[in-house]
Amino acid sequence: MFIITSYSLAVLFCFVTMLCWGSWANTQKLAASSWRFELFYWDYVIGTVLLALVFGLTLGSTGEGGRPFLEDLQQAEMGNYFKALAGGVIFNLANILIVAAIAIAGMAVAFPVGIGLALVLGVVINYFSEQKGSPVLLFTGVALVTVAIILDAMAYRKLSSEERKNPAKGLKLALIGGLLMSLFYFFVQQSMSLNFQDPAVGKFTPYSAVFVFTLGILISNFLFNTILMRKPVEGNPVSYRMYFQGRPKIHLVGILGGIIWCVGMSFSIIAAEQAGPAISYGLGQGATMVAAFWGVFIWKEFKNAPKDTFKLITAMFALFIIGLILIIVSGA
């Protein structure tokens, strides 16, 4: 299977993860005018499973190192299947809440608050599971990201009530989703061996771990998203009939969103051996900055905000960038 052998290449993969995780939600924004996010989310989940399977049968089945994808699935212990599946279930619930927050509060808020919180807690959890890198630099970077999250929430409060739609609900959903989001990576990482070249017996390699993880997302979606379709956080209930009435083009947008996100997830897990889980996860969740960029400059979510709001937004971006640099240097 394809294996990363240097820290610099691992950091590059983490940057790809950051771009993917911060950009996939644009597909939801594109579909939002004619397609409810509960329906979009089914296509998104299908996209994640398809990409994980393709990567497993290609990158995960070539080269001399590690174990081939299908062989790895056959030899894994049941306990590790449960861990990877649990990671998918936790992620799915968290992600549904954050996607709902995007629909209510916008990308510039839901991502920095929800995913930013996930970054802070997730780095702490993953660092203590596999201590790699300078803790002083790592946690200083995380602290700066925390301040950036607070500044983003302050900027959001300056929007008019019309622009904010439902501020309390949007922020609450983002916070709960972020709390859950901080946990999923730990379960996936625990299911696999961090020696990719000669993986431990009974453990997953990264490609099989990601695939089983996406199956956890798909299985749990029949519960979580069905409930959300019947009792949505915003708007009227939607049905499965409405999903099957969707145009092929609108389905492809959702599948593309899932593919983009899963490329990021796969690259993050592939990079975890060289970078360490905490740094790999932390850099990937720099997606908060990428998503905030999309929300502020492309979707113009703050166009009617008071002028002094942009001072907060500028400070938020600056702290995010400095924090991410410290996280990178911590593992060098």
- Per-residue pLDDT band for 14 (boundaries 50, 70, 90) equals very high
331 phi and psi angles, rounded to 5 deg? -100, 0
- What is the CB-side half-sphere exposure of residue 104 using CA atoms within 13 A? 20
Over residues 266-324, the pLDDT tens digits come to 999 999 999 988 888 888 877 777 877 887 888 887 787 888 888 988 998 899 889 88
Which region among 128-137, 173-182, 225-234 has the lowest average model confidence (pLDDT)?
A: 128-137
CA neighbor of 44 nearest in space, from 59, 58, 30: 30
More confident residue, 207 or 126: 207
Q: 204 forms bridges with which residues in the sheet?
A: 192
Q: Hey, what's the torsion of the CAs at 122, 127, 129, 130, to 10 degrees?
A: 140
CA neighbor of 10 nearest in space, from 303, 278, 311, 268: 268
Over residues 193-204, the pLDDT tens digits come to 989 999 999 999
Question: Cβ of 20: how many Cβ atoms within 10 Å?
Answer: 22
Question: Which residue in the block uniquely carries the two structure tokens 């900055």?
Answer: 289
Can you state the angle between helices 116-129 and 135-157, rounded to 10 degrees? 160
> What is d(CA 316, CA 318) in angstroms, rounded to the nearest whole number?
5
Cα dihedral across residues 137, 140, 146, 149: positive or negative: negative
Over residues 141-163, the pLDDT tens digits come to 989 988 887 887 777 667 655 45
164 pLDDT higher than 50: no
The conformational region for residue 306 under phi > 0 = left, psi -120 to 50 = alpha, else beta, is beta
Question: Which residue in the block uniquely carries the two structure tokens 């939607």?
Answer: 238
Longest Cα separation, the chain = 59
The answer, as to whether pTM is greater than 0.85, is yes
**Angle in degrees, CA 236, 240, 244, rounded to 5:** 115
Question: Cβ of 252: how many Cβ atoms within 10 Å?
Answer: 14
pLDDT, position 109: 67
Tell me the mean pLDDT in the region 77-103: 91
Question: Which residue in the block uniquely carries the two structure tokens 């956080």?
Answer: 233
CB–CB of 53/229 below 8 Å?
no
> What is d(CA 202, CA 140) in angstroms, rounded to the nearest whole number?
36
Per the structure block, which two tokens stand in for 315? 């400070």
Query: Strand, coil or helix: what is 207?
Result: helix
Write the CA distances from 175 to 90, 93, 118, 168, integer angstroms: 14, 13, 9, 11
